[in-house]
Amino acid sequence: METTENWNNSDANITNENASEYIYYYSNRHSDYVEYDIAAAINRYYLYVICGIGIPGNVACFVTSSNMKPFRSSDLYMAALAVADLTSLLIKFSYVRITATNSRLGDVGCQWFYALGSTSVMYANWIVVALTLERFIAVTLPLKVKQLCQKRSSICVLAVLFIVVFLANIQFLFTFEEMSDVFLTWTCASKQDFRTFHTFTWYWIDGALYAFLPTLFILVFNGLIIFKIRKSTLEKRHLSAEQRHSTETSNYQRQITVMLLSVSVAFVVLTLPNCTFFIVKAYWSWMESAHGVAKYYLVMQIVFVLSDLSHALNFYLYCISGRKFRQKFLKLVQKCFHRNRTSNRISFKRDVSKIRDISGLNDVTGRTRTSSVQVSPESTPVKGRL
């Protein structure tokens, strides 16, 4: 079950830290409890379900966001978020499937899998923060949003975020290696010289970059956005009809804000349990009994399901909360469907023309085929005798 440890778990390979503990777990038959059976079932199937939902959803989100007209900075953030979420799911699924078959990755493979996997999940969370900040500027400074929220500046923000997050996770290229655990299975774990660093230092750095700081920024900025929207709503009640009509041009901005709020709420709800779990874990005496181990595995799997689910739901939240995004997606689907129908009609016409051409060809005997309908020649009148 250790192969489905989440990327943001610093001590992901518990089996390598203390083999005697796992011998104790198995000798106490923790697998006899129903909690362990449920955890094993979740561990076996949940990633297939999440990838089945998230991979096509992220692809559709990227295509829809890239085809928005006009293409704004918020659309760029949503497209980048779809790529980051898609990458995290693909890397996680690939790692789980490779380690499940006990295939060897080698030291370099383990290092890059963890470095890129941790980078992708952190990067996705910080893109949500960047999108939240962009919405905060759009709501509080609507007259300057075109100058402050340009596509060029958004590209620079995305590039800087990626560089910072990757540099934070580059330590995996030096501190991880492939090793066999007590059950003679190959897995990725921190090197012996870096166990203390991962347990006491990287543990908190990872938690801060993955969830604590993004959650803090998201809660603060979203709180300010909600306050500003509520205040502007009260002010609009006193506007004249002409002024209300002029404010209708900001409908798209409001839709983007609602989409962001839904994504932010989902992020907080799905990510905070992960952080809470690994904080409480240090004070939870789950190793004292086999039943406690079974409960620990169940809670751990539920936490992983929630945190991985946060990279699979954004497209569906966009469709539910964003009318323009939903309409654009439906138009793209309709356009593809219409294109397929048009191509089928063209191919059908070509097939029909081929059939007509074949009808004029010679038969196998070399004689020209004639129509099966024969027309009798007109009969000439019989002349009378002289």
Tokens of 268: 């907080």
Q: Does domain 21-230+249-339 have CATH number 1.20.140.10?
A: no
Looking at residue 158, what is its pLDDT? 94
- Alpha carbon 76 to chain centroid distance? 15
86 Cβ neighbours under 8 A, 6+ residues apart = 54, 55, 58, 59, 62
Looking at residue 82, what is its pLDDT? 93
pTM confidence score? 0.76
Looking at residue 17, what is its pLDDT? 41
Looking at residue 350, what is its pLDDT? 57
Looking at residue 25, what is its pLDDT? 47
Looking at residue 60, what is its pLDDT? 92
Looking at residue 164, what is its pLDDT? 95
Full 3-state SS string of 105-159: CHHHHHHHHHHHHHHHHHHHHHHHHHHHHHHHHHHHCCCCHHHHCCHHHHHHHHH
- Alpha carbon 87 to chain centroid distance? 7
C-alpha closest to that of 305 among 32, 57, 13, 43: 43
Low-confidence residues in the chain, pLDDT < 50: 1-26, 241-242, 244-249, 358-386
**70 upstream amide cis, omega within 30 of 0:** yes
Looking at residue 317, what is its pLDDT? 86
H/E stretch holding 178: strand 176-180
Question: Can you tell me the distance from the alpha carbon of 323 to that of 230, in angstroms, rounded to the nearest whole number?
Answer: 21
Question: Can you tell me the distance from the alpha carbon of 283 to that of 273, in angstroms, rounded to the nearest whole number?
Answer: 16
Looking at residue 265, what is its pLDDT? 85
Q: Is 379 exposed, middle or buried (0-12, 13-18, 19+ CB in 10 A)?
A: exposed
Query: Where in the chain are the domains?
Result: 21-230+249-339
